[in-house]
Amino acid sequence: MNQLEALKQYTTVVADTGNFQQLAQYQPRDATTNPSLILKAVQQPQYAPLLEEVVQRFADAPLDDIMDRLLVRFGCEILRVVPGRVSTEVDARLSFDTNATVARAQRLIELYQGANVPIDRVLIKIAATWEGIEAARRLEQQGIHTNLTLLFSKVQAIACAQARVQLISPFVGRIYDWYKKQAGSQWDEAAMAGANDPGVRSVREIYQYYKRFGIATEVMGASFRNTGQVLALAGCDLLTISPDLLAQLEASDAPVQRALDAQAARQLDLQPISYDEASFRYALNEDAMATEKLAEGIRAFAADTHKLEALMRQAGARA
């Protein structure tokens, strides 16, 4: 049994990619996308015609409408391969606008339903700002399930639990990046690997809190830099993994052990925490890493959305 097969004994494996032609060989249950992954995909020869097709077919529509149609088209192709769900992201530029986020999410779902995709096979990805979490609360009440992304702290995770969101994606690699950069020459890679990795520790703390208090929201570790981070979270509800790391796991037959255990977490002596808007904003502000990485992530996704729009405009000019 290789490491990927072994990992699947403990955790639901999700593929983190827009490259749907790669998915079948790894047999993930679900798949996640984001603007950066879609941008990367449409610049590859095998996917460029898909972009051209969508732009030409809806040439008279507003650019944001064409964008959503492109995202849904990728999502539908992914759902032909995976048996579970696909995560499709709302425009990151709406991360601080609750009403606009809700409206955009509703449109994405309408487009999926127009393609005969059942609502329970789609997760709407939203940045875990206060406004994004509030949008997710409203959407969940409407039966639209959400995946709260760009999540770097237990503060955000608790607010998501209060909103009863379906799933959260705490980022491992970007937390690791921040602490490594802060430490500079003092960073000890070996000492901070595996269970000691700061990104791994963050997800473990969130997972334990959720299981201790019977929170139904799914925890899906995301943004991995190496297979060590993945394996250190074996037992997490889900892990979304890039094709490169899936290939590395498949190529190794080293043993895999459960690292997170829900039953053990239920025995922990933890205190429940709750946030309103003011206390959430203050607590998040007190966490420099989470504040900086959240802002940086929104900027990066927004920048890639701009680049994707530029490619769409070029395709429209050729139509």
| Catalytic residue positions, numbered | 125
Distance CA 90, CA 262 (A): 31
DSSP H or E run through 309 = helix 288-318
Average pLDDT score over residue span 201-222: 98
pLDDT of residue 153: 98
- Residue extents of the structural domains in the chain: 3-318
Q: Name the CATH topology of 3-318.
A: TIM Barrel (3.20.20)
Nearest alpha carbon to residue 38 among 74, 82, 65: 74
pLDDT of residue 114: 98
Residue 243's pLDDT band (cuts 50, 70, 90)? very high
Alpha-carbon torsion angle 18, 200, 286, 156, nearest 10: 50
Q: At residue 93, what are phi and psi to the nearest 5 degrees?
A: -70, -10
Q: Is the pLDDT of residue 302 over 80?
A: yes
195 neighbors 259 (Cβ within 8 angstroms): yes
DSSP H or E run through 178 = helix 173-183
pLDDT of residue 318: 78
Residues 38-72: b if buried by 16+ CB within 10 A, e if exposed: bbbbbeeeebeebbbebbeebeeeeeeebbbbbbb
pLDDT tens for residues 149-174?
A: 999 999 999 999 999 999 999 999 99
pLDDT of residue 316: 87
pLDDT of residue 102: 98
Q: Is the pLDDT of residue 319 over 80?
A: no
